[in-house]
């Protein structure tokens, strides 16, 4: 008696959901804190590196996203919403301030694209006035602080429709 031989069929590979965006700065983190003040929700996300991103959104947006403490979300913001500061003695009241080392500068006629390494696997990109880089003599290897407001951060979750 001959046994039937069936070909081995590879299981379909599960694909990781990804999104594409024009925002140069994209991070995933866990919601660690949420407080509602009127129609606004102040949120803090902790990245795997330990860095924190503060985001500000409307209550309606938080509800539509079913945002909750412990949930995982992505945070996006454009390079143009990031400013660079060089003076470590300045005391600012801006919500997000990350110090790092300049790793890359792409010079432009009007704006320069500057990338800072904040942690071994965390980088942030700023699009700053070209005159700033030249007047401040900003070079690769220099320390700089990337600052961005909580209101410039867009939060994103994946939603699967039935």
**Under 8 Å CB-to-CB from 50, ≥6 apart: which residues?**
119
What is the arithmetic mean of pLDDT over 27-53?
94
Is 10 within a domain?
no
Q: What is the DSSP letter of 150?
A: G
Q: What whole-number distance in Å separates Cα of residue 55 and Cα of residue 73?
A: 11
In the chain, the number of structural domains is 2
Report helix, strand or coil for 151: helix
74 forms bridges with which residues in the sheet? 28, 156
- E-strand ranges in the chain read 25-37, 40-46, 52-58, 72-77, 83-85, 96-106, 111-119, 122-129, 143-148, 154-156
Task: Clarify whether residues 41 and 100 are in a common domain.
Answer: no
Task: Clarify whether residues 85 and 131 are in a common domain.
Answer: yes
For residue 88, what pLDDT is reported?
Answer: 81
Q: What is the span of the domain harbouring residue 132? A: 79-89+96-148
Please check the confidence at residue 162 and state whether its pLDDT lies above 90. no
> Considering only CA atoms, which of 158, 154, 121, 152 is closest in space to residue 19?
158
Is 8 within a domain?
no
What is the arithmetic mean of pLDDT over 72-78?
95
What is the arithmetic mean of pLDDT over 27-54?
95
For residue 22, what pLDDT is reported?
Answer: 84
Read off the pLDDT band of 14 (50, 70, 90): very low
What is the arithmetic mean of pLDDT over 7-34?
73
């Amino acid at each position: 008696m001959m046994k039937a031989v069936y070909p081995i069929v590879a299981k379909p590979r599960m694909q990781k959901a990804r999104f594409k965006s024009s925002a140069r700065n994209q991070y995933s983190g866990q919601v660690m804190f949420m407080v509602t003040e009127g129609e606004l929700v102040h949120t803090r996300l902790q990245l795997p590196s330990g860095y924190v991103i503060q985001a500000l959104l409307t209550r309606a947006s938080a509800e539509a996203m079913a945002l909750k403490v412990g949930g995982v979300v992505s945070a996006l913001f454009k390079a143009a919403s990031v400013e660079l500061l060089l003076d470590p003695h300045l005391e600012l009241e801006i919500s997000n301030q990350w110090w790092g080392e300049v790793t890359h500068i792409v010079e432009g006629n009007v704006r320069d694209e500057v990338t800072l390494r904040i942690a071994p696997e965390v980088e942030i990109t700023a699009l700053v006035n070209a005159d700033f880089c030249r007047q401040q003599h900003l070079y690769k290897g220099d320390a700089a602080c990337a600052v961005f407001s909580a209101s410039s951060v867009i939060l994103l979750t994946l939603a699967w429709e039935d």
